[in-house]
Amino acid sequence: MFAIKEIVAREVLDSRADLTLEVDVLLENGVMGRAMIPTGCSVGKHEAVELRDHQSTRFNGKGLLKAIDMIRTEIRPALLGKNPLDQTGIDRLLIRLDGTDNKSRLGANSILGVSMAVAKAAASHLGLSLCAYLGGKTGHEIPLPILTMLCGGKHGGGNVDFQDFQVIPLRARSLHDALAIGKNIYNALKSLMKSQGMPVGVSGTGGFMPTLPSNESALQMLTDAIMLAGYRPGVDVGLSMDVAAEMFYEGKRYHLKSEGRTLTADEFIGLLEQMVDRYPIVLIEDPLGEDDFDGWTEITRRLGDRIELVGDDLFTSSIRRFGLGIDRRMANSILVKPNQIGTLTETLDIIAAARAAGYGVVISRRSGETEDTSIADIAVATNCGKVKFGSFARSEGLSKYNQLLRLEEALGPAALFRGAQTLKADLGRPVGACLQ
């Protein structure tokens, strides 16, 4: 027999040394699946809700004894004896058991921990990787990495307003090639910063955190690093930004504290449009606030045929929020984080819905990550096309790139790497004024 025999949960540490949840699902035949759940620092208000203890005297209120108790007293009794191969049935049971719209009673962390651990136990029972279990013979595309280089906002301690600045290897012919290009630029950027007397410490996602005079100056520094590494901006390598605009959107205005100015939505869209004109930007994530629907519609009208516009806080991996995006023509791509929605089945459903609607898909890590590599398997299994796992420092992100390399090797000749073809961007447009 291989039914679920036991479920155990515990507190472990994430990449920020905050507590997070780890769940083990043990089958009757001795096979086990284990999942660790990440957490974010810039959390959209429409995300599924983690269950935390909020006891200030213990781990700054981030303890998980309540979540563990929910698993022990409610989830475990409901799942013992269930077939681990019935992932959809188990996830639907977890959703019904919680009974809220945002998974706040049992906690999205509790639910996802069990959901993912069940899937991993089922895969192990069948002698398969999680990727092969979820994707079968159709899951074979190795994703293009979006590689973090510079960090601002909450990731960078407020040095600049925008949260992340990244590079995307446009001419890479394989994952190995893409990572080599990214590492060369990372090294060139580090040398460039040292030559200017800047510190080269890294953020929680591995990107450098220099103090810069403006958000645009980060784009110029990255462009310089690309050329220093011997690549052509806009031809070999493109730029990407996670603006995380919700973090500075208040009162229907965008407050750029590092630059000392406040802009209306139209003015801010104009600023981003100028950046796209000047720099080889091919992707922008969260350019506007999560509920600035009019602004999202406008920026999609103005830039949606030129670059990939990714909704993270806008959609929070929610099928309902994504439906609004389709109806109002907001964005042309979606960022997917399993812990935003709370079960593996819902994660797979939102990816399928995005692909059916013609949207791009980016699967992403969280800022508070773990060594769990499940999202790498999900990315290949679903042929999502793009991933955002961080930079070239910090092992929690590198572990996911390493898992992609293993999957690429395991797939052998069946592995497909489409690279820049996965981008919803006009790669033939002029590079921009930054090179003139």
User: Residues comprising the binding site?
Assistant: 163, 242, 285, 312, 337, 366-367, 388
Residue 282's SS3 state is strand
Question: How is residue 43 written in tokens?
Answer: 């959390």
CB atoms within 10 A of CB 246: 21
User: How far apart are alpha carbons 198 and 433 in whole angstroms?
Assistant: 26
Q: Contact, 106 vs 97, CB < 8 A?
A: yes
CB atoms within 10 A of CB 382: 24
User: How far apart are alpha carbons 68 and 52 in whole angstroms?
Assistant: 10
Instruction: Detail the residues annotated as belonging to a binding site for (2R)-2-phosphoglycerate.
Output: 163, 337, 366-367, 388
What does the DSSP 8-state code read for residue 258? T
From 5, 337, 400, 424, active-site residue:
337
Which has the closest alpha carbon to 318: 139, 108, 144? 108
CB atoms within 10 A of CB 229: 21
In our burial notation (b when 16+ CB lie closer than 10 A, e otherwise), range 53-88 reads: beeeeebeebbbebbbebbeebbbeebeeeebbebe
Catalytic residue check, 337: yes
Instruction: Detail the residues annotated as belonging to a binding site for Mg(2+).
Output: 242, 285, 312
CB atoms within 10 A of CB 433: 10
Which has the closest alpha carbon to 51: 100, 115, 108, 113? 108
> Locate tokens 């996802």: which residue?
112
Contacts of 245 (CB under 8 A, 6+ apart): 254, 268, 286, 287, 288, 289, 292
Residues with a known catalytic role: 337
